[in-house]
Amino acid sequence: MGAQLGRRVFFCLLIWWVLGSASCGRGGGTESFSMDPNRQAERDRLVDDAIIPHGVRDPAVIAAMRKVPRHRFVPPSYARSAYIDSPLPIGYGQTISQPSLVAEMTEHLTLKRTDKVLEIGTGSGYQAAILAELVDRVFSVELIEPLARQAERTLAELGYMNVKVRVGDGHEGWPEEAPFDAIIVTAAPEQVPQPLLDQLAVGGRLILPIGKDLQQLELYRRTESGYERKALTLVRFVPLVRPGGGK
């Protein structure tokens, strides 16, 4: 009788240990990481705790931030940190942007479903996926070919068929597909590339960081007679480099 009781206690402890270890880990939100492969609860917390308090109000942008699985766009070694409001390395000296900044920049573009958008700096494809939830067509340019190809694969696996990615110099935009209703640049040139301004449709918006180490986030709108400029906030992005390493 004592041996049977001992075995029962042992098996109960074993089950408790297995279930407990499955839900434990480093950092916050790990329980939903292990129990929910889609990690919806973590995305909801990110939106509720960081993105809405940051001032983002557009319901469509908020819905996109709740839907797109950011953990699919970061290296496996950083997957547990995917829903922290912070940039993360994605390789080749590049980063995936802070989620609240992604949401803020997207909201400033005041996108419509029928819009055609150009993104400069595909990176891992996360910003492109957010845009793809909001507009008809997204064209994204990435200088680093391995990042572009990985982004293409991830976007395709997630069903984003309205995104096209090309390898090229972001300073030159995508002239064959111009004009664009909106352009977003996720790396920092030292000056506004004129080809990007030229590729805006009348009424189109361009948002980008300008500067070297600490940059100014700026918003441009093309009018019938020129461009309107608005300074937004200070940010820090990786440089927008040219082929061969030039800026």
Q: Report, as residue numbers or ranges, the catalytic residues.
A: 97
122 in Cβ contact with 185 (< 8 Å):
no
Phi, psi of 98 (to 5 degrees): -60, 130
Structure tokens at 158: 């997630």
Task: Find residue 116's DSSP bridge partners.
Answer: 137
Phi, psi of 202 (to 5 degrees): -60, 130
Give helix 99-108 / helix 59-67 axis angle, nearest 10°.
150
117 in Cβ contact with 178 (< 8 Å):
no
Q: Does residue 122 sit in helix, strand or coil?
A: coil
**Using CA atoms, how far apart are residues 52 and 63, in angstroms rounded to an integer?**
11
**Using CA atoms, how far apart are residues 181 and 198, in angstroms rounded to an integer?**
12
Residue 80 DSSP label? G
Phi, psi of 127 (to 5 degrees): -60, -40
119 in Cβ contact with 184 (< 8 Å):
yes
